[in-house]
């Protein structure tokens, strides 16, 4: 079978992409017919079957507009909207992310492709203020994605709540005997030493993103 689509089939495929991009729902067979100047719906059907055979689209039979583009150029990467809960590393407390997501609609969110938060489900985002993690390549203004966590292993980058100071900060976490060392990734800054009871881990670092201004 001719694997590389050509002519009419390529045209239909292209039309599919444009239509979906524009309208957010797939075209009907007759939409395709008009859009590609094809004389009969059966020709469209015929070529759609071909495309389906070649694995380029998937059709839900008996369902209006039940066409879905497959393959690298059709499969839309999943987008996740991550709630942006505030700013970190400069004093302000952040609210603990509630598992109750309902009613959050008015909150600011960042939309990212799902590979930024791979696998995780309750991810939240914080905007970084300051350069204390610069050597971990996290700059002022970057966005970090965290997953809720209550504990960490040494070396993890975590958002911690310092009870005595009433602030939240992003640091590397080291439990050293009877104390906890919160290590900035910035050689001009000193680590924070404190008692384990004074720290409350809020989230674990997943990934960071530098918004292109």
Partner DNA sequence: AGTGACGGCGAACATGCGTTCGGAGGGGCC
Partner DNA sequence: GGCCCCTCCGAACGCATGTTCGCCGTCACT
C-alpha distance from residue 46 to each of 2, 25, 29 (Å)? 15, 21, 11
List residues binding DNA (CB under 7 A): 2, 7-8, 28-31, 38-43, 45-48, 50, 59, 61-66
Nearest CA among 88, 204, 210 for reference residue 148: 204
Q: How far is the CB of 199 from its own copies (least distance, A)?
A: 25
Residue closer to DNA by CB (options 28, 122) is 28
Residues ≥6 apart with Cβ < 8 Å to 24? none
What's the CA gap between 145 and 115, in Å, rounded?
12
- For residue 142, the minimal CB distance to DNA (Å) is 43
Question: Could you give the CA distance from residue 28 to residue 32 in angstroms, rounded to a whole number?
Answer: 6
132, 163, 187, 204: which one is catalytic?
132
Degrees, nearest 5: CA angle 207-99-118:
30
Least gap, CB of 9 to DNA (angstroms): 8
Q: Which is nearer to DNA, 42 or 113 (by Cβ)?
A: 42
User: Can you list the pairs that 97-106 forms with residues at least 24 positions away whose Cβ atoms lie under 8 Å?
Assistant: 97/122, 97/124, 97/148, 97/203
Answer for which of 61, 72, 177, 187 binds its own copies (CB under 8 A) is 72
Catalytic residue list contains 132: yes
17 binds its own copies, rule: CB under 8 A: no
Indicate which residues carry an active-site annotation. 132, 171
Q: Which residues bind its own copies (CB under 8 A)?
A: 23-26, 28, 60, 63-68, 72-73, 76-77, 79, 81, 105, 109, 111-113, 115-118, 134, 137, 139, 206-212
């Amino acid at each position: 079978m001719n694997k590389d689509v050509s002519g009419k089939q390529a045209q239909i495929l292209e039309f599919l992409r444009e239509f979906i991009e524009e309208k957010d729902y797939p075209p009907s067979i007759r939409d395709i017919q008009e859009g590609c100047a094809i004389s009969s719906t059966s020709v469209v059907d015929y070529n759609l079957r071909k495309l389906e055979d070649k694995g380029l689209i998937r059709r839900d039979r008996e369902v209006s507009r039940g066409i879905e583009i497959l393959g690298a150029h059709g499969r839309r990467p999943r987008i996740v909207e991550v709630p942006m809960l505030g700013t970190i590393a400069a004093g302000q407390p952040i609210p603990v992310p509630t598992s109750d997501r309902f009613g959050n609609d008015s909150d600011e969110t960042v939309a990212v492709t799902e590979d930024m938060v791979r696998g995780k489900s309750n991810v939240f985002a914080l905007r970084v203020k300051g350069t204390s993690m610069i050597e971990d390549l996290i700059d002022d203004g970057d966005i970090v994605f965290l997953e809720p966590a209550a504990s960490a292993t040494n070396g993890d980058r975590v958002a911690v709540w310092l009870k005595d100071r009433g602030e939240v900060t992003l640091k590397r976490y080291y439990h050293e005997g009877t104390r906890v060392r919160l290590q900035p990734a910035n050689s001009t800054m000193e680590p924070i030493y404190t008692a384990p009871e004074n720290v409350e881990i809020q989230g674990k670092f997943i990934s960071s993103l530098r918004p292109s201004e």
